[in-house]
Every structure is written in structure tokens, then in C-alpha cells.
Structure 1
């Protein structure tokens, strides 16, 4: 990361949704910087995040009391700890703060967030597909699933194979692949909840991801990354990624954030279409993302830059260094394979998230303990009870 005079900048930040699965990565990004005090509020009083070495103080509130109680707790913490800026991580909290930004900004600074209308377009796959089509931005043909006769006529406008996707969702969950219309219709008729799905033509090509920090539709920082090996029909988040620069990808996402006048962070899922040689927008994720530590390793600390921008500090546009980043299990697999394979071209990597886990080990240890405890508890509950007269 270029010199932003980190030693001269100090601030306190409150993360108001410590229960998010992405919070640990955000903490580990902020923990890389001196003079940043980190406070966390969560509705999980004994969640693994509580044990991170980077937290100055951990607060919790009862989950059942909802967002109203969260806002009360935030108000108290900001006043008590003199918080300089608030950094929401997950979609629910980001939308909550976007909707209440006028009131909350009177308490303290908040990182830049998208307007609620733009946010809702980004997270709703059907609304996004319609918006992309209206604005002539490259994207796959998409229709909304409807359980009526007209749907078959609408479906004829798509080329097969297709993907059935939940309108809301992430991480590849719930995505199904179909070679023909009869298989799709048969699957949907057996599931009455399919009305909450879109159908999208499958693109032959490879996945690309682009992460951004924006202000008033202008890109302040970005990273572009793709899978090391693209696996057909693998819709799960990748564990091996190459960071690189691609002008076609950059120009496509630049047009989207400009027309949405986007504020804050966002992660794009895109796909390169080998048939028409275009990069096409697939989804937008208006929250932090799973490869965040990869972005950090490539030289772009998104949470820190989001705080700087929210506190009106200027910095030059940031982009990634070309590196290969892998996640923990994959790191171990590469090391093992390296002993047995002569061709190491796909075995090497520059950075891994293991180094961050080693520096902040307790959240991972607690997560393993809780998993084992739940599994044992489940097995005990499954044992038939015997009764004696």
C-alpha cells in the first residue's frame, strides 16, 4: 500500500454487526494498521469474534430485541467511547445504516454507504438484471420464474443451458444448472417456493471478481481477481485466486458504479463470455467479501480505506499488486502436493490467509471448539433414551 502517513492518522471505529461471518477478515485488515482502536457490537455474546486480539472492547445485546436495540446500543457506545467512525460489514447492517443515515450521522461519522435505492437494486438479482438491461450493460439474458403458462413462452427467449438462482442469496447457495426446459419446469413444479428465483442463460467462459470502494460513483480503490483453475459448474467461492489488472473488467464495473452513483464498498461477480469476447456482470454483493484478506495481501486494505474516506482523508486511487492468494486448507493441500508433483505451476502461491490466522489464532480455536461441541451434543441427542420401570 502506498504511504498514506498511517502514523499520523489515529481513530476509533465501531463495527456494529460483529455476528457477521466477514467480520474477522475486516478486523484482521484494520489490525494491520497502527493507531486504530477497534470496538465491536454483536448479537452473539460468545461468538468467536469476541476472542480476537485486535478488539479493544467487545459489546453485545440480545438478538431477539432486533435492530431497535442495536441502534440504542450503538448510541450508548458512541457516546461512551467517543467513537470516530462506524463501519457496518454485512448487508442487513449496511441497509439499516443507509436507511437511518441522516439520524445516525448526527452521532458520529459513518463510512460512505450506498443510497437505499441503489443498495436494493444491487442485492436483488432480478432488479439488477432489469437495471443492467435498461442501461445497456453487458449481462446474461435473465427472466423471472413464474408458476404460470406464460413462463414457458418467456423461457423460450433464453438459450440453454440455464441457471436457476435465488433472487436473494450469496456464496453460490441454491444455484441449479439445467440443460433443457423440461428438466427446469419439472424441478420448479415440485417446489412451490420457486417463485423467488430467476432463470439466467449459462455463459461459457470463466469467472472474474472485482472489489471496489467508491465515493459518489467514482472508484477510490479496486482489486480484480479470478480463479487459478476454473471448475465447470462450481458456484462456490473460490479458494485459489490470482490478482491482476484487466481493463475490460474495470471499464464495465466503472460504468455500473457511475450510473448507480455508488457510495462505499461493493463486490462484483462477473464472467468472461468466450463466445462474444465480453465481460458480463452477473451479480453485485453490497457488503464485504470472502477474499478480503486476499485484497489486503495484494496491497489494498479496503476497511481501512473506507474509514479514511469516511473521515475525509484523501489518498490516491489504489489497485492490487499481481499475486496469487490461497485459503488455509488449500495452502496445506498445495504443500503436500508439492512433495509429489514435478510440475509446480499450479502449486505455488504468494500469500495465504494462514498467516493472518497465526497472528490472531483464538477465533479459529473457538470456532473449532464450538463445532466439535455441537457435533457431540447432536450425537448425544440422537441416542435413543431407555426407560426403566
Structure 2
């Protein structure tokens, strides 16, 4: 490994370039002159291959969800490139590297990542709910669905409507609100669960209030950098992430997360979903995402470059003191819609933004163009096959 502490520049390996978050992570690293980004993906035609910011691109075959194939590819790429630091993006890769941390660190540095136990708790809504209750941290009442009378009796203690959520991510289900259902009556919920018995669910009361999120980089239970955000523009679906966010300061949210990461001794990146309960006047922890997040570029625009700071921490360099400024950020689709409405003189009252994902897409458009082409090809193949899903290689691995 190169002695990165003695030089101004360093190289970074993104080992899960197939992640839908890779574009945002690389866009953040591209803001730092001298940082070289190397991408490894399980997709030979991954859109990140066509990014102007990708210095080198490597791929490997992974016909099934095989962690050993990815790990072997990571070892091989590290030996070939001699990169300075590995920066995993998604939960699955973070867990893999955490499990094999010693052998990877024998080859190079790793950005801070949580231990396996912490990742497993964070990735399972039922385990997380029990952990939060045990450590007396604010969270909604939570039941694990069971096909028995005991569950049906416990369900009567919750105030309806309630939310039914998968305990874990399975494919795309469990990401961005996918797989969440709302029920007004116990009978309808129980009937739904019986018809979908292959999925493990938790039930939580719907909280009247608003969502508020906190993104962090931690080391040994101490917050090194953070941003807080609140949605002001809804997504396409009821439970989709917001299309627009306000980056803002909120003392209660910070205090809750500060206590949580200290008790869990969290190390690494995380994005916390919380909801303010108007009745209890309390912010409650809903979910932990042990990965980077969809609004990462909003955090960057507010003044915190999480991928870069994570790399510095992994390299053992001093982390600069970071703070963020309040601003309004929207995703690319929302920005395009607002700009179009402005052009035709139909700007909605009070709708504006300071920064958007379009700013980054215009500087590095080819990954997005390639992604759209793959999706169009997939839809065309699907129609030719009579509506069956075609070219799934492109559908599932090219989300930017």
C-alpha cells in the first residue's frame, strides 16, 4: 500500500459500483482535486464505467448473490491497483468487509465501517426496535407479526392506522419505502400477512407528525460529521423519499442520535430515519441505514463531503472540523419539473431550491444517459417477451 499520509492525493476503491448510490458517492469525491476513483462492479456494462470521474474500472462475474465472489474480486483489485483506501457504499458490502476486515486491512486501509453485530441490528427493524427499547431510546411501539392469537391480541393494543413493514431488505423491497403498507383495521392486516407469509413483517402505529433524518460519520460512538434534513416536497409514492429536502439544524434530533451512536458505539457512515411525534412532542427513531443515502449530494451542497471525510478517517488523517449550512435541495426530476414550470410561466408559489442533482448530472452526464438507455432496452425486451421482465441485468443494477 502507498504511504498516503505523506502525500496530498490518494486513490479510492469503490467496491460496489453496481450500487444505485455509487454515482452520488463518486460525485462527492470528484470535488476534491487529486483524488483518484477506481470502481469495481459485478456488471461489466455498469454506467459508472462511463463516468468522467472513473480513473479505472474493473468488473467480475457474479451470477448469484455470492459474497465470496465479491470478496475475491476485491482482493484481486487491491493487489492490481495498490489503492490507498476502500470505501464501501451499500450495507451488504460494508458487512462483508467488516466480517473480513483484518485480511482487507493487510492490503490497504478501509474507511470506517460498523462491526457486524451493529450492522445486523441496524438492518433488521425488529432487532432494532428491541435494541432501542432496551436502551431507553425514543421509538414507536413495534410488534413482530406472528400467525397466532397472541399477536392478534397484541395488535389490539395499537392505535390504528398502523404501518406494516418488511423487517429486512429483500432485493428492492425495503428500500425507499417499498413494501410498506398502511391498514385501518386489524382484520385487513392479518389477511394480508397470511397471503404474504414468505415475508417477515413488523407493525408500528402511524405517527402523526413529520419525517426528519440525520446523516452521520462516527468513530467509536462519537459523531465526527453530520447533517439533518426534513422533506418539503413529497416523492412519487406515499412512502417514497422526499423529492426535496431542507437541510436544517434541530437540537432534539441531534441529541437523540448522539445518544444512540454512543450507546451502540457506532463507527462509520449511517443515515437515520426519524419521525417527530406531534402528540408526544418527541423525535422517534424509525430506521437505521448502514450505508450512504439518496440525498448525499444535498449534504455535500450544505458543506459536508461525507465520502471524502470517511476516506480521511480510514487513512488515519485528521478529520477537518465540519459544519453544515441550511439550504434547500431537490433531486434531478424535481429540479427539471420546477425549471420547466418556470420557463412556461407557471412557477408554483413558494417552491424554490438552492441546489439540485442536475448540477452534478450536467457535469458528468454519461452514466445517467447509459442508465436510461439500458432501462429503455429492458422495457423493449419485456414487451417483446409478452410483458415478462427482460434484461434484468440492467433493470436492477443501473439506478442512479
TM above 0.5, yes or no, is yes
Note the 1:56-71 alignment, pairs <5 A. 56-64=55-63, 66-71=66-71
Other-structure match for 2:148: 148
- Verify the 8 A CA contact 1:38 1:56 in the aligned structure 2: yes
**Deviation at residue 183 of structure 1 after TM alignment:** 2.0
Give the TM-score of the pair, scaled to structure 2.
0.90
The count of corresponding residues between Structure 1 and Structure 2 is: 376
Question: Structure 1 residues 115, 88: closer, same or farther in 2, change over 3 A?
Answer: same
In structure 1, C-alpha distance between the alignment counterparts of 2:353 and 2:226, rounded to whole Å:
21
Other-structure match for 2:372: 368
> Are 2:195 and 1:190 equivalent residues in the alignment?
yes
> Are 2:31 and 1:26 equivalent residues in the alignment?
no
5+ residue gaps, structure 2, are: 1-5, 169-173, 388-400
**Deviation at residue 324 of structure 1 after TM alignment:** 0.3
**Deviation at residue 154 of structure 1 after TM alignment:** 1.6
5+ residue gaps, structure 1, are: 1-6, 384-389
**Deviation at residue 305 of structure 1 after TM alignment:** 0.4
Moved more, 356-365 or 185-194: 185-194
Other-structure match for 2:111: 111
Question: Structure 1 residues 100, 343: closer, same or farther in 2, change over 3 A?
Answer: closer
> Are 2:206 and 1:202 equivalent residues in the alignment?
yes
- Verify the 8 A CA contact 2:234 2:243 in the aligned structure 1: no
Larger Rg: 1
In structure 2, C-alpha distance between the alignment counterparts of 1:342 and 1:47, rounded to whole Å:
37
Q: Secondary structure at the match of 2:92?
A: helix
In structure 2, C-alpha distance between the alignment counterparts of 1:233 and 1:149, rounded to whole Å:
33
In structure 1, C-alpha distance between the alignment counterparts of 2:13 and 2:288, rounded to whole Å:
25
Note the 1:295-306 alignment, pairs <5 A. 295-306=299-310
Deviations 1:183-221 (A, max 9, x none): 212222232225x00000110000011110000000011
- Verify the 8 A CA contact 1:142 1:158 in the aligned structure 2: no
Other-structure match for 2:283: 279
Other-structure match for 1:120: 120
Q: Secondary structure at the match of 2:54?
A: coil
**Deviation at residue 230 of structure 1 after TM alignment:** 5.9
**Deviation at residue 64 of structure 1 after TM alignment:** 2.4
In structure 2, C-alpha distance between the alignment counterparts of 1:204 and 1:232, rounded to whole Å:
20
Q: Secondary structure at the match of 2:182?
A: strand
Deviations 1:44-88 (A, max 9, x none): 000111101111100011012733232222222222222111011
**Deviation at residue 232 of structure 1 after TM alignment:** 12
- Verify the 8 A CA contact 1:207 1:230 in the aligned structure 2: no
**Deviation at residue 342 of structure 1 after TM alignment:** 7.0
> Are 2:244 and 1:240 equivalent residues in the alignment?
yes
In structure 2, C-alpha distance between the alignment counterparts of 1:231 and 1:72, rounded to whole Å:
38
In structure 2, C-alpha distance between the alignment counterparts of 1:145 and 1:112, rounded to whole Å:
35
In structure 1, C-alpha distance between the alignment counterparts of 2:98 and 2:161, rounded to whole Å:
38
In structure 1, C-alpha distance between the alignment counterparts of 2:23 and 2:34, rounded to whole Å:
19
Other-structure match for 1:215: 219
CA-atom RMSD, angstroms? 2.0
- Verify the 8 A CA contact 2:211 2:231 in the aligned structure 1: yes
Other-structure match for 2:164: 164
In structure 1, C-alpha distance between the alignment counterparts of 2:339 and 2:208, rounded to whole Å:
32
Give the TM-score of the pair, scaled to structure 1.
0.92
| Of 290, 296, 299, the match for 1:292 | 296
